[in-house]
Amino acid sequence: MKKVRVAIHGFGRIGRSILRALSTSRQDSGVEVVLINDLAPLETCAYLFEFDSIFGPFPGTVDTRGNDLVVNGAAIPFHQIDPAAPLPDMAGIDILLECSGRATSRAVAEAGLQAGAGAVLISGPSDAADVTLVLGANDGAYTGQQIVSNASCTTNAVAPLLRLLEDNFGVSGGHMNTIHCYTSSQPTIDTAGKDLARSRAAALSMVPTTSSATRLIDRVVPDLAGRITGSAVRVPVASVSAVDLVVKLDRRDADFTEALQTAVEACPVLGWTPKPLVSTDLRSRPESLVLAGPELITGPEFTRIFGWYDNEWGFSNRMIDVARKMGASQ
């Protein structure tokens, strides 16, 4: 079958995780990277791709040849781009994976289409997108739109769970807190920023903040709109995050735990662990969320559900899945 040809625009944590996931998968993903753009030089990007502080050294070969990044012997044309200049020619590229974190305006999102790409998939929340798609939550919302947002890692973690809870047990309301590892949006040492708490050193404090997932949940699980509140605490951990969800369910029978586990295991993007894991154990898990069985609490009024997600690896795998879905419809 013809592979979906993608370009990666922005070769940072998510861009590199996508290429690593594709290059290390034992199964044919049906997606191939045929172009990479970044502001940084090829040598820097090759080095950061080969030596990763979170995922370890790349388990294969990484070289540079002329303007190509060569991974396991396969050459991928690389462009170090000037952000003021137009994107390179993208004729023949099915989907531009917009992973620079810049595509919040329609003009930036459309640049990929103007360069010739068939469609654009944004690796974050964007009001500029035609649709926000979260697999397991609103799969049917994709009807061939050209600019798609894959929402956020936290939305991918919590929205499929809420969809499942509403469909199986009914949700009258709840609160989601994400205990989130730090990302490149936070400084290593106190640095002035728009958000006061988030301008503090990322690895030194727990930082209470907001989550874009709160409003995105309303968008991708619209029947729960206004019923789920959300918050975030950024913690001094570099990898793997957690969702702590407290919900009031309409129906909860005696076999609730088994019923929940069965429903979770039937959902392709969710997982379940019966073990008392800690965050490092979840590194490189491809699921959008792995529910922790031992953390489930069924109180008299509320149900507490706790799950882990590798915010980089799980989300990057969903980028690949959504790209494949979009490519199949082209």
Ligand X SMILES: NC(=O)c1ccc[n+]([C@@H]2O[C@H](COP(=O)([O-])OP(=O)(O)OC[C@H]3O[C@@H](n4cnc5c(N)ncnc54)[C@H](O)[C@@H]3O)[C@@H](O)[C@H]2O)c1
Report the C-alpha gap between 124 and 89 in whole angstroms.
Answer: 24
Among residues 99, 153, 181, 267, the one annotated as catalytic is 153
Beta bridge partners of 9: 37, 98
Distance of closest approach, residue 104 Cβ to ligand X, in angstroms: 8
Please enumerate in sequence order all residues whose Cβ is within 8 A of that of 25, keeping only pairs 6 or more positions apart, or say none: none
123 annotated as ligand-binding: yes
Q: Nearer to ligand X by C-beta: 102 or 304? A: 102
153 tagged catalytic: yes
* C-beta separation of 142 from 121 below 8 A: no
Contact 308, 286 (CB under 8 A): no
Residue 13 marked in a binding site: yes
CB 148 within 8 A of CB 322: yes
Nearer to ligand X, 136 or 260 (CB): 136
Residues making contact with ligand X (CB under 6 A): 9-15, 37-40, 81, 83, 99-102, 123-124, 152-153, 183-184, 311-312, 315
Q: Minimal CB distance to ligand X: which residue?
A: 12
- Nearer to ligand X by C-beta: 29 or 37? 37
Report in angstroms how near the CB of residue 150 gets to ligand X at its nearest: 8
The conformation of residue 86, written as its DSSP 8-state character, comes to: P
Which three-class secondary structure state does DSSP give residue 49?
helix
5 marked as part of a ligand binding site:
no
Element (H, E) at 159: helix 153-168
318 is in an annotated binding site: no
CB of 302 to ligand X, least distance (A): 28
Instruction: Pick the closer one to ligand X by CB: 13 or 198.
Output: 13
CA nearest 250: which of 173, 194, 316?
Answer: 173
Tell me the CA end-to-end span of the chain in Å, nearest whole number. 14
Residue 38 in marked binding region? yes
CB of 185 to ligand X, least distance (A): 7
Residues in binding site for NAD(+): 13-14, 38, 123, 311
Catalytic residues: 153
